[in-house]
Amino acid sequence: MKNISQSDFKKEVVQKKGTVGVIVQTEWCEPCKHLNPVIEKLEEEYKGRDLSFVSVDLDSNPSFTSYYRIAGLPTVIFFKDGSMKGLYMGVKTVKEFREIITGIIEGKKKEGPKTVKVFSTPTCPYCHMVKAYLDQKNISYEDIDVSQDREAATEMVQKSGQMGVPQLWIDNEVVVGYDTARIDQLIGQ
């Protein structure tokens, strides 16, 4: 997998035809090291097809964090014909990436959830991270500030048995905390 700099990003990703997976990682990130064999297997599997992968070192290119609102590592951003098609955080399996890639290449998108409620407080950093994550995925949600809405706070605790935030209700399924794997599973990405 080719490592690119921010100056090469436009040529290698934005102006390139086909599908490109951009692996955003750092040398010191342990989960990133677990993702690399998965990507190597996908590169071999899709060799000669309409898919390539490049790597961006976040330490050398820190502006990626703010521009793409990256909240965790590793992150894989897929582009098709220069347009961003999806952002996925955390280590996924080869099977999960195959489904994502197939959807992007064929232009199919899984149907998202009907309703998403985020129970949060203004001072909770993980609440801000989970909302940024949903924004990156273009998932609309209702933000409920439980520090101001005591009735909603009581309902949240009754349903989940948990007082901690963030909490998400995705089509009536409860996710407590910043659990991107579970969020992805429930929103169909």
Contact of 57 with 27, CB cutoff 8 Å:
yes
Active site residue 29: yes
Distance between CA atoms of 64 and 56, rounded to whole angstroms? 9
Instruction: Give the list of residues 6+ apart from residue 109 with CB closer than 8 angstroms, or none.
Output: 103
- What's the pLDDT tens digit per position in 114-147? 789 999 999 999 999 999 888 878 788 899 999 9
Active-site residue, from 22, 23, 24, 32: 32
Structural domains of the chain in order of their starting residue, each with its CATH number = 2-106 (3.40.30.10), 116-187 (3.40.30.10)
Active-site residue, from 29, 139, 152, 174: 29
Distance between CA atoms of 171 and 44, rounded to whole angstroms? 37
- What's the pLDDT tens digit per position in 124-133? 999 999 998 8
The pLDDT score that the predictor gives to residue 126 is: 93
- What's the pLDDT tens digit per position in 83-92? 877 777 776 7
Q: Is the peptide bond before 122 cis (omega within 30 degrees of 0)?
A: no
Number of H helices, E strands in the chain: 7, 9
Per the listing, tokens 């349903």 go with: 159
Secondary structure (3-state) at 96: helix
**Residue % of the chain over a pLDDT of 70:** 94
Distance between CA atoms of 72 and 126, rounded to whole angstroms? 11
pTM of the entire predicted model: 0.60
pLDDT of 108 higher than 70: no
Query: What is the average pLDDT score of the chain?
Result: 85
